[in-house]
């Protein structure tokens, strides 16, 4: 086999390897994390294999490009320039298109198929130079078929793997741009997990939220009217704030719109929060300039039989929602507030710890 034929064939097979292993990596890691006790071995093994394939790409491209750019300096400059431009474009697409809109398993499968498409295009472009065509076509076709089959099976595999991570049945799941949101439970009881960490259990959450809100409002020494809630997109802290008849306005600041949407739309959570966010309109504000969004009154049905029959409702408070990082918001707080309730996770990382300082 001639030297150009070996190089072109090696590049096609390398791209095929990267497409197959890289495309399947996310699903394989989901399964490994759920089923294997030594998950890190699978993680490092896949990383090593993918890194090996990536390491082969540049030398092979330099060999192929030498046909048109015989000067080594120009050859290296061309290949690395295109490599850096492609890396920049890939980072932008990853950050602003893929990650906000697709789950990790879908992203890896899509990119794996894209790599196989590159392998196919290279095979067509260097068809005359490749001598073992049947072998290359067979490997490429098998990889495409395998990755296509995995794409069809991935939702079920990922769902089964995710369920193994929780003791109770998963009742609801959504992946937002910020985190993985899972609701588990059976019967009337349910639990909310954010990125695998327990946010609350409906059986005993009232203990935490009552102690979070009521001592702070009682310490004011006067009836609270305007209350700011940082975090707590599940609406449970707002529920406790709204128990105070004097409260006229509540501003809830939470980073993830998917969590507040869950509090307004997921029926078990709506019942648990007593509809605290059900009638609140969402206003999105940029971190650079924070302004209060549209206000919609939160009401509850009248308690008397006459009020119920006539459909009369009692005004509770005006609730506003802003979706941005609380750390950015507190630098531009609009207006004055009688109390600030901070419903944050434990300060286990620098990003969370700064919210407590």
Q: Any catalytic annotation for residue 254?
A: no
Q: Where are the alpha helices (DSSP H) in the chain?
A: 3-35, 39-65, 72-93, 99-101, 104-125, 133-163, 205-218, 236-241, 257-265, 267-272, 305-310, 326-329, 350-353
User: 297 exposed, middle or buried (CB, 10 Å; 0-12, 13-18, 19+)?
Assistant: middle
The region, left, alpha or beta by phi > 0 then psi within -120 to 50, assigned to residue 287 is: alpha
Instruction: Answer yes or no: are the C-beta atoms of 313 and 321 closer than 8 Å.
Output: no
Q: Supply the angle between the helices 3-35 and 39-65 in degrees, to the nearest 10.
A: 160
Per-position DSSP letters for 285-346, written without gaps between them: --TTS------EEEEEE-SSHHHHHHT-EEEEEEEEEE-S-HHHHGGG--S--SEEEEE---
Dist CA 344 CA 237 (whole Å): 11
Dist CA 271 CA 131 (whole Å): 68
Largest CA distance in the chain: 94
State residue 97 phi and psi, 5-degree precision. -120, -60
Please count the other Cβ atoms lying within 10 Å of the Cβ belonging to residue 15.
25
Distances (CA, A) of 207 to 22, 211, 237, 250: 46, 6, 11, 21
Of 234, 254, 318, 343, the catalytic one is 343
Active site members: 343
């Amino acid at each position: 086999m001639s030297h150009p034929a070996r190089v072109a064939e090696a590049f096609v097979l390398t791209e095929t390897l990267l497409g197959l292993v890289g495309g399947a990596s996310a699903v394989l890691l989901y399964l490994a994390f759920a089923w294997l006790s030594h998950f890190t071995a699978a993680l490092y093994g896949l990383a090593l294999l993918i890194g090996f394939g990536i390491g082969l790409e540049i030398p092979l491209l330099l060999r192929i490009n030498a046909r048109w750019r015989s000067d080594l300096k120009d050859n290296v400059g061309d290949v690395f320039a295109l490599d850096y431009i492609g890396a920049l474009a890939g980072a932008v697409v990853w950050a602003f298109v893929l990650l906000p809109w697709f789950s990790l398993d879908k992203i890896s499968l899509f990119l794996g198929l894209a790599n196989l498409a590159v392998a196919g295009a290279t095979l067509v472009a260097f068809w005359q130079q490749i001598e073992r065509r049947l072998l290359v076509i067979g490997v490429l076709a098998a990889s495409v078929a395998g990755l296509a089959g995995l794409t069809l099976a991935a939702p079920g595999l990922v769902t089964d793997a995710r369920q193994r991570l929780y003791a109770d049945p998963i009742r609801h799941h959504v992946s937002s741009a910020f985190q993985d949101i899972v609701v588990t439970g059976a019967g009337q009881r349910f639990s909310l997990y954010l990125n695998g960490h327990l946010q609350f259990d409906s059986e005993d959450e009232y203990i935490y939220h009552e102690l979070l809100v009521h001592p702070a409002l009682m310490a004011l020494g006067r009836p609270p009217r305007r209350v700011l809630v940082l975090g707590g997109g599940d609406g449970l802290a707002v529920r406790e704030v709204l128990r105070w008849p004097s409260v006229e306005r509540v501003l809830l600041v939470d980073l993830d719109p998917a969590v507040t949407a869950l509090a307004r739309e997921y029926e078990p959570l709506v019942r648990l929060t007593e509809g605290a966010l059900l009638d609140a309109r969402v206003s999105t504000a940029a971190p650079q300039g924070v302004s209060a969004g549209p206000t919609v009154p939160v009401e509850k049905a009248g308690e008397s039989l006459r009020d119920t029959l006539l459909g009369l409702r009692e005004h509770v408070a005006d609730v506003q929602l802003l979706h941005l990082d609380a750390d950015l918001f507190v630098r531009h707080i609009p207006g004055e507030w009688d109390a600030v309730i901070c419903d944050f996770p434990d300060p286990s990382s620098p990003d969370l710890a700064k919210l407590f300082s």
